[in-house]
Each structure stands twice: as structure tokens, then as C-alpha cells.
């Protein structure tokens, strides 16, 4: 109990102090994860819809792979990106390792399958309902994909939010490709890992509480914005 109380106090004091380091860490966390989710949505949502609309050999295999990749361990994703971006790796010339860009790439790898898998499910339901209409009207494949995604936009918000949750909370991948460099690649989760290592459990938990509050805020904003938009659309 003592630890928890100390953590709450630490969290409260951190927020009140408006510590610039904390502000930097929080904004870095958010900018990396939101950028990654944006990229992953741009890749994953059309991919998921395409998996419904297009028929091609190996389609089922792709679906299984996408679903399985939802459970991709962050450490493995991180290691994969690390090997790619390392100076001794194929993309080493870019010099991206230990930069925020590398962290965005790693999180995009993690979130894309989630966006794709949830989009596929949402679009599949819509396809069952309206698919024949599209075929009957002779709508092109690409326009069908866009139109179905638009129809499912409110449900797809779930996919995006699930992605934000996964990205913001993840530590394994960004620790490896970012290196947890103070002021450059230190995010909420890697800072928590570091403070735990230093045995400052109260500060670590305090940061954890702030992270939780952030995730709550993102979800609440999306939820209310979503339902407001739904009402406006109805």
C-alpha cells in the first residue's frame, strides 16, 4: 500500500511540476505512436478491405498470416527492424538506428496487422450485406474498397484505437531500435523500464499512472468524438 501511495504522489508531483523532461517524454511517446498508427492505418485498413474484396490464390494464407501477426511479440519486431537498420544491415546507409524514425517503423510493423485484421472483419460484414450491390453496379475494385472502408468508418475507429493502445504501451520493440537515449528516444514505457532498473519504483509507477491516464484520454476522446460524428451522420 505504501508503494502505491508513493506512486500516486510521485505521479501527481510530476504532473504538477510540469517538468520539461516529462513533457518531452510524453510528447515523444505520443508523436511516435500516433505517427506509427497513422502509417499502419494507411497500410493496414486498405489491406484488410482488399482481403475481402479481392480473390486471389493464397488469400487464405495471407489472412492467417495477418491474424497471426497480431500477436507478433514486440521484441521480435524490434529485433527484425534492428537488423534491417543496423549499419551492418541492408538499410544501414540510412543511419536510422537509435532515432525516433526507427521507433516509428518498428511500431508500424506491430500495428499494421492489427489494423488489417480488424478492418477485414468489419469489411467482411459489410460485404456480406452490400457486396452484391457493388458487383451488380459494376463498381471497380479500388472504389469498392474505399467505399466499404468509408461505410465502416465508425467501427474502424476501434481498429485504430486498438493500434494506439498497442503502440503506446509497447516497450520491447522501441527499446531495441531506439536505445532509450535520454532526450532523443526515451518514451514513457522505456523511461518506466529505466526507473524500475534504478529501483525507483515510485517514480516508475508514477510514470505508469500518467501513461494510463493518457491512454484513457485518447480512448475517451475517440469514443465521444465518434459518437458525436455518428449522431451528426444519422
Partner 1 sequence: MTLVVRYFAAGCMLLWAAALPAAAQQQFITVASTTSTEESGLFRHLLPAFTKQTGVEVRVVAVGTGQALKIGERGDCDVVFVHDKPAELAFVERGFGVDRREVMHNDFVLVGPTSDPARVDGGKDIVDALRKVANAKSRFVARGDDSGTSKAEIRLWNEAGIDPKAAGGGWYRDTGSGMGPTLNTAAAMDGYALSDRGTWLSFKNKQNLKIIVEGDRRLFNQYGVMLVNPAKHPHVKQDLGRRFIDWLTSPEGQRTIADYRINGQPLFFPDANASQL
Instruction: Using DSSP, state whether 3 is helix, strand or coil.
Output: helix
Question: Residue 38 interacts with partner 1 (CB under 8 A)?
Answer: yes
Question: Residue 10 interacts with partner 1 (CB under 8 A)?
Answer: no
Judged by CB under 8 A, the stretch of 61-69, 73-81, 118-126, 195-203 that binds partner 1 is 195-203
- CA within 13 Å, CB half, 123: 25
User: Given the complex with partner 1, which of 67 and 200 has the nearer CB atom?
Assistant: 200
Q: What distance in Å separates the CA atoms of residue 115 and residue 66, rounded to the nearest whole number?
A: 10
Instruction: Using DSSP, state whether 1 is helix, strand or coil.
Output: coil
- Residue written as grid cell 480512448: 219
Rg, Å, the chain Cα set: 20
Give CA separation, 219 vs 38, 161, 212, in Å: 16, 7, 11
Residue from 7, 10, 14, 32 in contact with partner 1 (CB under 8 A): 32
Q: Residue 180, by phi and psi: left (phi above 0), alpha (psi -120 to 50) or beta?
A: left
Which residues, numbered 109-128, are part of the site for partner 1 (CB under 8 A)? none
Which residues, numbered 151-180, are part of the site for partner 1 (CB under 8 A)? 153-154, 179-180
Question: Residue 189 interacts with partner 1 (CB under 8 A)?
Answer: no
Question: Residue 226 interacts with partner 1 (CB under 8 A)?
Answer: yes
Question: Residue 102 interacts with partner 1 (CB under 8 A)?
Answer: no
Contact 186, 25 (CB under 8 A): yes
Question: Residue 97 interacts with partner 1 (CB under 8 A)?
Answer: yes
**DSSP, res 42:** H
User: Given the complex with partner 1, which of 74 and 178 has the nearer CB atom?
Assistant: 178
Q: How far is the CB of 195 from partner 1 (least distance, A)?
A: 9
* Binding residues for partner 1 (CB under 8 A): 24, 27-28, 30-32, 34-35, 38, 86-88, 92, 95, 97-100, 153-154, 179-184, 194, 196-201, 222, 225-226, 229, 233
Amino acid at each position: 500500500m505504501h508503494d502505491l501511495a508513493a506512486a500516486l504522489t510521485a505521479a501527481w508531483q510530476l504532473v504538477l511540476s510540469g517538468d520539461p523532461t516529462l513533457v518531452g517524454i510524453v510528447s515523444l511517446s505520443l508523436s511516435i505512436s500516433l505517427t506509427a498508427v497513422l502509417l499502419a492505418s494507411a497500410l493496414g485498413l486498405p489491406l484488410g478491405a482488399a482481403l475481402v474484396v479481392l480473390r486471389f490464390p493464397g488469400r487464405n494464407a495471407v489472412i492467417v498470416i495477418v491474424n497471426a501477426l497480431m500477436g507478433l511479440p514486440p521484441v521480435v519486431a524490434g529485433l527484425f527492424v534492428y537488423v534491417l537498420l543496423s549499419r551492418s544491415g541492408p538499410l544501414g546507409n540510412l543511419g536510422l538506428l537509435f532515432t525516433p524514425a526507427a521507433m516509428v517503423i518498428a511500431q508500424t510493423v506491430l500495428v499494421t496487422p492489427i489494423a488489417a485484421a480488424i478492418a477485414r472483419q468489419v469489411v467482411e460484414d459489410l460485404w456480406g450485406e452490400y457486396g452484391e450491390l457493388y458487383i451488380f453496379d459494376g463498381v471497380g475494385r479500388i472504389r469498392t474498397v474505399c467505399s466499404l472502408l468509408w461505410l465502416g468508418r465508425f467501427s474502424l475507429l476501434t481498429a485504430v484505437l486498438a493500434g494506439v493502445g498497442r503502440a503506446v504501451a509497447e516497450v520491447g520493440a522501441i527499446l531495441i531500435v531506439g536505445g532509450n537515449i535520454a532526450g532523443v528516444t526515451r518514451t514513457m514505457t522505456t523511461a518506466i523500464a529505466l526507473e524500475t532498473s534504478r529501483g525507483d519504483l515510485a517514480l516508475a509507477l508514477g510514470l505508469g499512472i500518467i501513461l494510463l491516464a493518457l491512454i484513457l484520454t485518447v480512448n475517451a476522446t475517440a469514443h465521444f468524438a465518434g459518437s458525436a460524428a455518428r449522431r451528426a451522420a444519422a
